[in-house]
Copies of this chain bind each other. A is one copy, B any other.
Amino acid sequence: MEKERLDALLLTDPPHVRFFSGFKGSTALLFITRRSALLITDGRYRGESRSVQHVAVHIAKRSLFEALGKKVHLPPDSVVGIHERHASFADVQAMKFHLPGMKVRTAAKLIGSVTSVRSRRDLASQSTAVKLSEFVFGEILDMLRPGVREDEIAAEITYLHRRFGAERDAFEPIVASGPRSTLPHACPRGRKLRRGDLVVIDFGCVVGGFTSDIARTVSIGRPSRRVREMYDAVLEAQSRAIEAVADGVRGKEVDRAARDLLTSRGYGREFIHAAGHGLGIEVHEPPRISPRSNDILARGNVIAIEPGVYLPRVGGIRLEDDLIVTRSGAALLTHLPREMIIV
């Protein structure tokens, strides 16, 4: 904060409030100065707020921002950093109203530089999230056969995540089969799996506030030679990207490793999204791993690498694994086999 000339940080969204304070409720403000931290929530969360340590807690009677204005005594020209992608325009308006004269500064980069480096305890939580999702994938493999609906499989993923101790899904599970496998972000529908389908399954959960994010592509019945070639290209692209990961490398270099391989195999135009992303208290976090990302990977970042190829009349294939950036490279957190699964 000193380096960025910030007098305070104001966090308004639950994952960031939780990361910096331990408070798990869904309505709170966390105001951090160089010397202290203040959590403001409302009466519904009085009980939850008792577990917060090292942070002063205030229960607001009316609006949280009104209480913030009364409790904060910084000079009027103080500079307050906010996370510009998670603070709403209304949050900023309320802050300007209740902390008159203070200056708002965007601070997503600073905040991301703290949240994107994993402590040992937080890495243990995130590894558990990954292991739990891998276990769930093993369980649902038995379900995959012609006639089963996409949304049944998604429901089972969500159920097993929770049943075995996740707080929740990290995002709505994607189960996209047949022609729908070519939509990278398809919501599960009532479509039934058929022989000859490719099925992209992309899912993750939250443990201790940290996310997992895994994708595998399954062939229902024997795949064509064309599909095998596509799969090999995606698998190889993922390996290249993983090999490119190391402390100090730029996001775009990792993306390029995957993209160059796919382009060389003739699939450059069918790789229509970024090669990966940071993975932490949210599913998409810094560092960005995309064609134009100058973000620099740092030791302790957890990232997901997920190349994919989507061919309209053939199908979609995506593989996604999670890894932690180390001094000299990367260590995989996922241990599921990456070879094509044929059921």
Contact = CB atoms under 8 A, between A and B. Distances in A.
Given A43-B272, A185-B48, A159 B155 contact: yes
Interface in A175-197: 182-187
A91 interface: yes
Contacts of A185: 25-26, 44-45, 48
Copies of the chain in the assembly: 2
A119 interface: no
Interface stretch (A139-147, A160-168, A223-231, A236-244): A160-168
B108 A187 contact: no
Max count, chain B CB within 10 A of own CB: residue among A62, A162, A165: A162
A143 to B, nearest CB: 12
Contacts of A89: 82, 84-85, 87-89, 91-92, 104, 106
Interface string A66-97: 00000000000000001011111111110000
A327 interface: no
A247 interface: no
Nearest to A274: B44
A48 B184 CA distance: 10
B48 A186 contact: yes
B90 A106 contact: yes
Nearest to A154: B162
Interface in A256-280: 272-273
A50 to B, nearest CB: 10
Contact of A155 (B84, B93, B163, B292): B163
Contact of A162 (B44, B48, B158): B158
Nearest to A271: B43
Given A82-B89, A84-B90, A85-B90, A273 B44 contact: yes
Contacts of A92: 89
The 3 lowest CB-CB distance pairs between A and B, nearest first, are A155-B162, A159-B159, A84-B90
